[in-house]
Structure 1
């Protein structure tokens, strides 16, 4: 299915596993408050058999930002660790070390974090991915325990052709969550099974909410034709979030052309749906950078900097990064991008992405000495992230040094 436009490059990561097996019940270290046991995979299977539990594996890498966020913000919540400690044999495995690469290939781990739920026979029972709330994370664990919700059970039912539409929806949602290649197939089959009355139900709303990402989607027209029905059923705020998402994707397309009237009509609609100015600021600023209007780009970015983004270095840096794309030749826009990124850098000087971007923008406007200085800082910062990131930082630094 169509995925939402990626506005920021995301890094990913999960756990470290030793080669030596530990004692079956040894608890080595607590990451947050979930009790992650340090053992090889065979020992985890033994534990699962003896304690009659599923294994939960947090698949991570050392450079994965969402993984670190889950460690810091979700695994430490009492309701989370109490549920997982009671229900599972918990393990954290670094997918780039030890048994990690082999297990990643075996269980189809393609992004981080990935959460695997495995039985004592080494069979995958359930799987989920990405950063999520505590409630969502607990629900994934509950789904793994419940045979009617677990991905493995649903997959068997689908292949046997013995699923209800509700079960097929659950299966589709699970596949979509892990970006499985069968998602489109199951989605198409479900749509052939259901009628308009089903689509107007709470189950139908779950489908629309999960898959309508722009106004070209086949279900968007159905949503639009029945908007008041869904508002009465679900609530205006939830319905508006789907409209905002669809409009945001559409307006990004419009911002790349010169249809100014259409763009501002869409921007006004987005303002009415947006609770914060972040998306509006990004899109509004990008429009002038894309249409090479330096004067309005400067005025618009200064307006958002002065009034809304004083404490939002991530958005500030993103606006600068977008404006200073590789094919950007307008020096006035590039200089404003440097001014913007400097604001983000002063708020958060320890952000690798901001430092690296700042160095590249300075190089683009001819401030080579300072660009090299920041490029070298970025390389040092990359040391603490991963070898891949460090290699990229070194390549960027070399490009800055070679630039005229």
Structure 2
């Protein structure tokens, strides 16, 4: 699963709203009426207005998947028409807001324009300027973030307390991600300090999740395991998707660490128990096999097969192939 790779997850979660659908049932059938799918997997990159930016068929490796995302952002870039007006000296708040939004949507840096504009304003409490502050606050380690916090009460009245809190988390997360990119502990500490100061209710979860992300980047299984255990206990004890994701991430990154793999096995087992679905059983069986427990893996997979038969031929074939592979091993 390429999406669970740290670099991919960070990029796509930052720049897109991501959705995975089973095209043979439920929402997938409804989606397929507008966006036809003839092969699996198919990736659709869709603009906010519903227009298809690009669609790609077939599995992708990490590098290719990242390139596709960057290409989609570039194809959806309409910032040039606002840039031309801005360079002519137009500082109408609505134009500046549209310009910054366009830069953000296309994955470009909007801080230069935002800094220049905000520094030129005497009154930041107007609706137009507050809207620009809200849109342009994308990094906690920035001048704009300081101005955002200074106008917090006005922003909460215009948007809502929850929206402001979400923006604080968003900005701190971008700074934390940058800390990984540049291997900077100082940047990470700045993100942690600001989330604790400006949104203390969300600080523990934020730091826990980012301790996990950072330890993945540096292949630090001990730190990851410590943070992951706390995360499972306090945040996702009954969330089968997250439990399974944590298990898969451990297998992908720390398969040589016995303690980590034992924890992955426990997470996968809990996810299978909570969900009751064949695919979670299959993930659990795969990790049992990784841990040298072939007989248990076969038993769990055979149980998954019975569930898969109810789902359909495609599901049962998937499990049958897995069983054939491990029984022949």
TM over 0.5: yes
Stretch moving more, 299-308 or 337-346: 299-308
Q: Aligned residue for 1:231?
A: 152
1:365 matches 2:326 = no
Distance 2:18 2:150 in 1: 37
The superposition leaves residues 369-392 of structure 1 with CA deviations (integer Å, 9 ceiling, x where unpaired) of 4445656748986997998x999x
Q: Aligned residue for 1:104?
A: none
Q: Aligned residue for 2:326?
A: 401
The Cα of 1:305 is off from its aligned counterpart by: 3.9
Q: Aligned residue for 1:324?
A: 251
User: Which stretches in structure 1 are left out of the alignment for 5+ residues?
Assistant: 14-60, 72-90, 98-108, 117-126, 130-153
Local SS of the residue matching 1:226: helix
2:288 touches 2:294 (CA, 8 Å); kept in 1? yes
Stretch moving more, 225-234 or 366-375: 366-375
Distance 2:261 2:224 in 1: 10
The superposition leaves residues 214-254 of structure 1 with CA deviations (integer Å, 9 ceiling, x where unpaired) of 44xxxx52223324432132136544433322323444565
Local SS of the residue matching 1:311: coil
Distance 2:322 2:143 in 1: 51
The superposition leaves residues 190-212 of structure 1 with CA deviations (integer Å, 9 ceiling, x where unpaired) of 65984524594544444454454
Q: Aligned residue for 2:3?
A: none
Distance 1:385 1:206 in 2: 50
Alignment of 1:166-205 (within 5 A): 166-167=94-95, 169-170=97-98, 173=101, 179=106, 184=108, 194-197=117-120, 200=124, 201-205=126-130
User: In 2 relative to 1, CA 221–173 (structure 1 residues): closer, same or farther, beyond 3 Å?
Assistant: closer
Match of 2:221 among 277, 292, 296: 292
The Cα of 1:399 is off from its aligned counterpart by: 11
> Which of structures 1 and 2 has the bigger CA Rg?
1
Structure (1 or 2) with the greater strand fraction = 1
* Paired positions, count: 277
Alignment of 1:305-324 (within 5 A): 305-324=232-251
The superposition leaves residues 323-348 of structure 1 with CA deviations (integer Å, 9 ceiling, x where unpaired) of 22245421111111111222222112
Local SS of the residue matching 1:111: strand
User: Which stretches in structure 2 are left out of the alignment for 5+ residues?
Assistant: 1-8, 54-77
Distance 2:194 2:145 in 1: 15
Distance 1:403 1:254 in 2: 46
1:345 matches 2:266 = no
Structure (1 or 2) with the greater helix fraction = 2
Q: Aligned residue for 1:62?
A: 23
2:100 touches 2:136 (CA, 8 Å); kept in 1? no
By relative contact order (CA 8 Å, sep 6+), the higher-ranking structure is: 1
Q: Aligned residue for 1:111?
A: 45
Distance 2:187 2:118 in 1: 34
